[in-house]
A and B are shown apart, each in its own frame.
Chain A
């Protein structure tokens, strides 16, 4: 087994025989076929696969942006595959922290306002929102960029804001879709260190990527191809990685 910062906990995500079909005209596309997997608290999982493999569909279903055509999906023990749109929105809001390849920040809002946004939909008071947003930005070492707008930040800083936004609701999982895809190598490594750090602090991280280098950071790698799970195994390189990376991981600074 891969080393853990804290011990692996109870299951958060339980996917049983899930399939997803899209009807496009006369054709039916099977994006996912009979996929089953379980992810537990404080795991660090990479979902890998080439484009068209179904990994994005799997990510959308895990992230409650999409619902399966068949099978059951339990999130924290609750059956989400039959939930209404509003209930899904609530899960996305409170249980899942999204990090996207293109950051997806609101251009008009400064860093604090961007980080506050999920709390707005959670109905949290203005003052508490602000306090929590500042705290989250501090966690990603952006306390000196609070009032900067996205276009006043570097790519790495933008992704840090996005990560702070994902953290601010204290979600059950952080779901990162190609988080380093738009960053140069050095900044990408920086961001991966941040994920490492968050994982060590007890967060559950799911990474979706097509890059081996990125996936190697995770403790468990799930490979998807043609809508099926091809392999699902602990990362053999992880022991060595963690041993060498550990001394330098602590608070990554920009």
Chain B
């Protein structure tokens, strides 16, 4: 008897007991969902972060005080990288094609005329390369230019959220707004980039880092981060070595002392993040594995009940010519079909979740084929392993006894 025929029979049997089969499917689906869903969500997250890292460029690296992902607490507090040190570095470091300085100050109150905001905005202290590097486009007016940075001018480019809040109907250019009480003149408005994870990307203002240092650094204890672009990917390593050397001189580190700053590349970020996501994926897989084990026992239980209930059917089938092998394979295939239907649902929901997370992050999430394959494989195994005993019991029924069964 062909497998297709058995699968058809199995589907018929499952349809005859929709509720029971449904509940069993559910337990399988949950297990598969844990495996595929977590993998899909992690995949979406990874893809999103890779995309963001790409904007950094492969020949660019960052020097900043703290690591990008802190696993546990940061040990000893490191001294901040001051603007003076950063400017010193920028002036002396000739190996780089470009050095861009950035600094973030959070919880800023913005005020225009009588209207005042909650302290939910942040200030980016940057230079002329901040906007292009981070993929922002000026909608109206201009960006800050090298002269602004050199002079420490009190000019500001405002994000779309700020513009909407204070200048919904009119032009913001030339207006004076107050950042934590300090007056700045608006020279540009940015195009909106939308939200990531419900988190707006437009709720900031950009001012020259020199101005930020003068106004806010002492008060905020801020540290400058430096994005350094090597002339090419080939010279990245060399440029990094030179940058570290120069930074050690500027930071006055003795030989033998460890760096008191972090060097972050696209790759090292990916690696760090990949390490974290690997644990998360494994965690999902282990949870899913246990769920599937429990589901497998459920499958065995349901199949045993099913064999008992269908004793007469088994008798009929045997009487009209089914061999023990036919009955054995029929019930194993039924268990496997049940498992695979559950897997299908779990995969559907899991991949759906991945796509949803991806949509939130503004990317098309990759389908985690590896996890899908593993899930299908595990479900096949579970169907065979936990379906075998009930199927074997069914196949060993005596046709005469089975036909008499009420």
Stretch at the interface among B157-165, B196-204, B215-223, B309-317: B309-317
A86-B324, A108-B16, A123-B1 given; A92·B400 CB < 8 A: no
What 1/0 flags go to A165-202 for Cβ under 8 Å of B?
Answer: 10001000000000000000000000000000000000
B319-A94 in contact (CB<8A): no
What 1/0 flags go to B356-385 for Cβ under 8 Å of A?
Answer: 000000000000000000000000000000
A90-B321 in contact (CB<8A): yes
B318-A120 in contact (CB<8A): no
Residues of A at the B interface (CB closer than 8 Å) are: 60, 63, 65-66, 85-86, 89-90, 92-94, 98, 100, 104-106, 108-109, 117-118, 120-123, 165, 169
Q: How far is the CA of A123 from the CA of B2 in the complex (A)?
A: 8
Can you list 15 pairs linking A and B with CB atoms under 8 Å apart? A63-B319, A65-B319, A65-B400, A89-B321, A90-B323, A93-B321, A98-B319, A104-B319, A104-B403, A108-B12, A117-B320, A118-B320, A120-B5, A121-B322, A123-B2
Residues of A within 8 A of B399 (CB): 65
Q: How far is the CA of A89 from the CA of B325 in the complex (A)?
A: 11
Q: In the complex, which residues 1-24 of chain B have their Cβ closer than 8 Å to any Cβ of chain A?
A: 1-2, 5, 12-13, 15-16
Q: In the complex, which residues 293-338 of chain B have their Cβ closer than 8 Å to any Cβ of chain A?
A: 312-313, 315-326
Residues of B at the A interface (CB closer than 8 Å) are: 1-2, 5, 12-13, 15-16, 312-313, 315-326, 399-400, 403
A121-B320 in contact (CB<8A): yes
Residues of A within 8 A of B312 (CB): 104
With beta carbons under 8 angstroms apart, the residue of A66, A98, A109, A123 that contacts B320 is A98
Residues of A within 8 A of B320 (CB): 92-93, 98, 117-118, 121, 165
Residues of A within 8 A of B318 (CB): 65, 89, 92
A97 and chain B: residue at smallest CB distance: B320
B321-A118 in contact (CB<8A): yes
Instruction: Write the nearest CB–CB distance from B316 to chain A, whole angstroms.
Output: 5
Q: How far is the CA of A104 from the CA of B5 in the complex (A)?
A: 21
B321 and chain A: residue at smallest CB distance: A93
B310 and chain A: residue at smallest CB distance: A106
Residues of B within 8 A of A117 (CB): 317, 320
B1-A121 in contact (CB<8A): yes
B1-A120 in contact (CB<8A): yes
B316-A122 in contact (CB<8A): no
Residues of B within 8 A of A85 (CB): 323-324
Instruction: Write the nearest CB–CB distance from A108 to chain B, whole angstroms.
Output: 5
Residues of B within 8 A of A120 (CB): 1, 5
Q: How far is the CA of A106 from the CA of B9 in the complex (A)?
A: 11
A65-B400, A104-B316 given; A92·B321 CB < 8 A: yes
Q: How far is the CA of A251 from the CA of B322 in the complex (A)?
A: 32
B321-A121 in contact (CB<8A): yes
Q: How far is the CA of A108 from the CA of B323 in the complex (A)?
A: 21
Q: How far is the CA of A66 from the CA of B315 in the complex (A)?
A: 13
Q: How far is the CA of A9 from the CA of B320 in the complex (A)?
A: 25
A59 and chain B: residue at smallest CB distance: B400
Residues of A within 8 A of B313 (CB): 106
Residues of B within 8 A of A65 (CB): 318-319, 399-400
6 smallest A-B Cβ distances: which pairs?
A93-B321, A121-B321, A89-B323, A118-B320, A104-B316, A86-B323
Instruction: Write the nearest CB–CB distance from A171 to chain B, whole angstroms.
Output: 10
A165 and chain B: residue at smallest CB distance: B320
With beta carbons under 8 angstroms apart, the residue of A100, A122, A123 that contacts B403 is A100
Residues of A within 8 A of B319 (CB): 63, 65, 92, 98, 104
Instruction: Write the nearest CB–CB distance from A116 to chain B, whole angstroms.
Output: 10
